[in-house]
């Protein structure tokens, strides 16, 4: 029995998953129609959870093999290949004995051993990173195995922009080459770096140009949260006014994780039989800024002063316009227009700021609040 229905860590069982009905229908339909998708949004908007939610829907959950590969931590083609192979094996293990064996045998280029775990007696695939000597070759074997699977496959590479940081320069072309020849697999490429993903998928010079449908994941709507939160507070004999939910939603800039986390705390601090007090809100938000501040401090320590100054200036303004103009420069005692320009370029690349219709802002609201407290 769950003690808090607003789950902030780990898997979210379907009944505790808020909304995303249209989005999931759309994604499932596109994938089953044979399209590949690039799913983008700022961090913590709910991409990874949405993909897993889609995997739990029909027909994906029964008629497909669905693989989810998070490549955030990978730094080379070798690690990519290793993570991919390992994850495919682990998924097949739970779905089909036959396919698992087929897959293990297909990977001839690695001396992986298929054995049995001494304790659990479950099949075990011992593959270590060092076994992947020739990643291009192994990758070829993985894709060929998927092509021969007895069900269609869906593969998600999460945090896909990571491949742009690998030392090997041909990874995009290599993957694109495989993917366009596969008849039995469709792909989701998802990630938070708008900057890198748009370049990969929408600039003419890149191999993935025009090869996938671009989807931008929007925030969950306020009305959906009101229904969701009211229901779950009610199930636990607690109450929450729509106006409290609305305030949390506004302050948190409708970011899925921050709204969920706020609801989690509000729920935690409301006793059974009681109604959630709006007075809790500022305390909870302060706590969230505090909780994140070590990480933020660390991040700031990595930035040169000139970049930091511009970041503070943007955060303090909320939405900053004409950042290269004399007024902005004077107002924030910045060095020069060219220094601002260089800082903006770097901050955009790091996704610490975003630009929308000429206005710059810090997309992570809690980070923005932190910067405002320090810089304001
Ligand atoms: N539909 C949802 N309902 C409730 N909480 C959600 C939902 N989607 C995401 N979350 C919350 O937001 C957090 C971040 O989601 P995640 O999918 O990891 O974001 P992203 O992949 O876009 O960075 C999750 O850990 C969860 O707490
Ligand atoms: Mg994610």
Would you say the CB of residue 219 lies under 6 angstroms from ligand 1?
no
Rounded Cα distance between 59 and 55, Å, is 9
Provide mean pLDDT across the span 122-141: 83
In which residue are the tokens 């006014």 written?
A: 241
Residue 180 has pLDDT above 70, yes or no: yes
3 state DSSP class of 191: strand
Of 23, 49, 68, 71, the residue with max ligand 1 atoms within 8 A of its CB, to mutate for a pocket test, comes to 49
Would you say the CB of residue 49 lies under 6 angstroms from ligand 1?
yes
Instruction: Work out the number of other CB atoms within 10 angstroms of the CB of residue 18.
Output: 21
Give residue 111's pLDDT: 67
Domain 303-375 has CATH 3.40.367.20: no
Residues 239-274: tens digit of each pLDDT: 999 999 999 999 999 999 999 999 999 999 999 999
In which residue are the tokens 């990977």 written?
A: 107
Residue 115 has pLDDT above 80, yes or no: no
Of 39, 44, 253, the residue with max ligand 1 atoms within 8 A of its CB, to mutate for a pocket test, comes to 44
- List where CATH 1.10.10.10 sits in the chain: 303-375
**Span 222-294 CATH architecture:** Orthogonal Bundle (1.10)
- List where CATH 1.10.8 sits in the chain: 222-294
pTM of the full structure? 0.91
Would you say the CB of residue 85 lies under 6 angstroms from ligand 1?
no
* 298's tokens: 């660390």
Judge whether 340 and 313 are in contact, CB under 8 Å.
no
Give residue 2's pLDDT: 87
Instruction: Give the position, in ligand 1's atom list, of the atom nearest the Cα of 41.
Output: 22
Q: How far is the CA of 109 from the centre of ligand 2 (A)?
A: 31
Give residue 130's pLDDT: 77
Instruction: Tell me the CATH number for domain 20-216.
Output: 3.40.50.300
- List where CATH 3.40.50.300 sits in the chain: 20-216
- Cα R_g (the chain), whole angstroms: 23
Q: Please, which residues have CB within 8 angstroms of residue 243's CB and are 6 or more apart in sequence?
A: 278
Rounded Cα distance between 21 and 24, Å, is 5
Residues 2-39: tens digit of each pLDDT: 899 999 999 999 999 999 999 999 999 999 999 999 99
Judge whether 148 and 58 are in contact, CB under 8 Å.
no
* 247's tokens: 């305030």
């Amino acid at each position: 029995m769950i003690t808090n229905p607003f789950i902030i860590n780990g898997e979210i069982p379907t009944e505790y998953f808020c909304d995303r009905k249209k989005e999931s229908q759309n994604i499932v339909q596109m994938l089953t129609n044979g399209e590949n998708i690039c799913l983008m949004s700022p961090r913590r908007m709910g991409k990874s959870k949405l993909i897993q939610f889609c995997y739990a829907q029909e027909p994906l959950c029964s008629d497909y093999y669905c693989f989810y590969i998070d490549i955030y931590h990978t730094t080379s083609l070798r690690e990519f290949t290793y993570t991919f192979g390992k994850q495919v094996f682990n998924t097949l293990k739970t779905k089909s004995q036959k396919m698992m064996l087929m897959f293990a045998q297909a990977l001839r280029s690695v001396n992986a051993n298929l054995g049995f775990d001494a304790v659990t007696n479950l099949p075990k695939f011992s593959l270590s990173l060092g076994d992947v000597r020739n990643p291009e070759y192994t990758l070829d074997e993985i894709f060929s195995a998927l092509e021969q699977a007895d069900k269609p496959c869906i593969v998600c590479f999460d945090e896909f922009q990571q491949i742009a940081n690998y030392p090997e320069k041909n990874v995009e072309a290599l993957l694109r080459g495989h993917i366009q020849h596969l008849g039995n697999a469709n792909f989701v490429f998802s990630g938070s770096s708008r900057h890198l993903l748009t370049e990969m998928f929408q600039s003419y010079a890149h191999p993935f140009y025009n090869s996938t449908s671009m989807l931008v994941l929007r925030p969950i709507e306020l009305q959906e949260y009101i229904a969701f939160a009211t229901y779950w507070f009610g199930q636990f004999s607690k109450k929450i006014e729509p106006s409290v939910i609305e305030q949390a939603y506004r302050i948190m800039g409708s970011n899925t994780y921050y709204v969920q986390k706020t609801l989690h705390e509000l729920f935690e601090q409301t006793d059974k039989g009681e109604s959630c007090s709006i007075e809790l809100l500022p305390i909870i938000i302060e706590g969230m800024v505090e909780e994140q501040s070590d990480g933020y401090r660390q991040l700031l320590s990595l930035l040169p002063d000139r970049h930091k100054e511009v970041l503070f200036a943007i955060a303090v303004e909320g939405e900053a316009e004409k950042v290269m103009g004399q007024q902005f420069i004077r107002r924030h005692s910045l060095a020069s227009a060219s220094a601002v320009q260089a800082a903006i370029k770097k901050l955009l690349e790091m996704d610490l700021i975003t630009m929308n219709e000429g206005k710059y802002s810090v997309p992570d609201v809690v980070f923005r609040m932190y910067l405002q407290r320090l810089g304001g």
